[in-house]
Amino acid sequence: MQSFNVHYFDGKSSVPKSVTLELHEDFVRIAELNFAYEFKDIEIRAKLKNTPQSVSFSDGSYCELGADDFFCINNQDKVILKLESKIKYAALSFAVLCLFVLFCLTYGATMAANMIAPQIPKTAVEKMSVQTLEFFDKYYMSESKIDKTKQDFIKRRFNMLLNKNSDLNLHFRSSEFFGANAFALPNGDIVLFDDLVEIEKDSEFRGIIGVLAHESGHVAHLHGLKMLVKSSISSALIGYLTGDFSGFITSFSTLMVEAKYSRSHENEADLYAIKVLKKNNISTAYMADLFDEIAKKHKLSDNTTLKSILSSHPLIEERIEQLRK
């Protein structure tokens, strides 16, 4: 049995009593007062640098040990208390934790997203995409006002371009919320908005075809799914660290509304589009012209209210340059 000479405070008076604290197998005892406490009724405070260690009891009383004494009730506590008592170790563990979190949120999440996204079952991808389209149709989009012959022309050209890739399905919609834009859902549903079609000056809609090829690139490279996995990992990790999981319960539709694809995803989708356009002998200049037209409109509207493909696809100058090359 270990024993320590300690200062005992009864929680009512500030005058300490010098007593002996005995450490038994599964309880502690204050010898002079004949008080005994089970381990579950005591709390041991870490010894920080030169401050004395204290042990509090469930009845509100506590005792302070001598500066050189060290009290713990099992081996695991011994290690933890020793580590906590050393500021250097505490700071080092904190730094390691920060680095680990940073890694998980960046490279770790990207690596995991690249591995997990292709494994998501097709039925789940289909269900999630259909629900997202329904959600947008209910709150943000309405039927397209582009005339049917124009729609059929664009659809035909798009289908020719992608070699009957049956997974892709083009939908026309009108939307103030999305403006002059287009987006792709992971199941291959691509939505093209009226405002973008109306900006196009080429009679054969080759700029639009370029944008649709770019959106197909997002589908082919599973960008939507990767974004979803990555954001779920970040929310789960932040939720775990802060104890708040409300951010984790987010639907894909909200993610699509708020998020922008990363720079590398945009690049990959552009390269995909350039390859497809080249294969079909369509100049990428039409796509660059379309972006130029949109950028002009942005300047005229002071860049504040106009919603367009530029809001969800940043770095437009760089991209126009790449397309012109």
Decide: residue 47, CB within 10 A, 0-12 exposed, 13-18 middle, 19+ buried.
buried
Decide: residue 143, CB within 10 A, 0-12 exposed, 13-18 middle, 19+ buried.
exposed
As measured in angstroms, the least distance from the Cβ of 173 to Zn ion is 17
* Binding segment toward Zn ion, per CB under 5 A, in 24-32, 34-42, 202-210, 310-318: 310-318
As measured in angstroms, the least distance from the Cβ of 243 to Zn ion is 35
* Binding segment toward Zn ion, per CB under 5 A, in 19-27, 108-116, 162-170, 312-320: 312-320
| Long-range own/partner contacts, residues 144-150 (CB < 8 A, 24 or more apart) | 144/172, 144/173, 144/174, 144/194, 145/174, 145/194, 146/172, 146/194, 146/197, 146/198, 150/197
**Does residue 309 sit in helix, strand or coil?**
helix
* Binding segment toward Zn ion, per CB under 5 A, in 43-51, 158-166, 167-175, 308-316: 308-316
Q: Which is nearer to Zn ion, 206 or 214 (CB)?
A: 214
Q: Which is nearer to Zn ion, 55 or 219 (CB)?
A: 219
* Binding segment toward Zn ion, per CB under 5 A, in 62-70, 184-192, 226-234, 313-321: 313-321
Q: What tokens does 196 get?
A: 């973008």
As measured in angstroms, the least distance from the Cβ of 302 to Zn ion is 24
Q: Which is nearer to Zn ion, 55 or 256 (CB)?
A: 256
As measured in angstroms, the least distance from the Cβ of 44 to Zn ion is 56
Which region, left, alpha or beta, applies to residue 2 given φ > 0 means left and ψ of -120 to 50 means alpha?
beta
Q: Which is nearer to Zn ion, 78 or 260 (CB)?
A: 260
Q: Which is nearer to Zn ion, 262 or 283 (CB)?
A: 262
DSSP-derived secondary structure for 132-197:
HHHHHHHHT-EE--S-HHHHHHHHHHHHHHTTT-TT-EEEEEE-TTT-B-EEE-TTSEEEEEHHHH
As measured in angstroms, the least distance from the Cβ of 308 to Zn ion is 12
As measured in angstroms, the least distance from the Cβ of 262 to Zn ion is 10
Total number of residues binding Zn ion (CB under 5 A)?
2
Residues numbered 255-274 forming contacts with Zn ion, rule: CB under 5 A: 269
Q: What tokens does 237 get?
A: 């990790």
* Binding segment toward Zn ion, per CB under 5 A, in 9-17, 197-205, 251-259, 309-317: 309-317
Q: Which residues is 170 bridged to in the sheet?
A: 190
CA-based radius of gyration for the chain: 32
Q: Which is nearer to Zn ion, 194 or 268 (CB)?
A: 268
As measured in angstroms, the least distance from the Cβ of 278 to Zn ion is 18
d(CA 87, CA 85): 6
As measured in angstroms, the least distance from the Cβ of 184 to Zn ion is 8
Q: Which is nearer to Zn ion, 47 or 265 (CB)?
A: 265
Q: Which is nearer to Zn ion, 55 or 287 (CB)?
A: 287
**Residue 80, φ and ψ in degrees, nearest 5:** -60, -45
Which CA distances in Å does 19 have to 12, 46, 58, 214? 17, 21, 18, 78
Residues that bind Zn ion (CB under 5 A): 269, 313
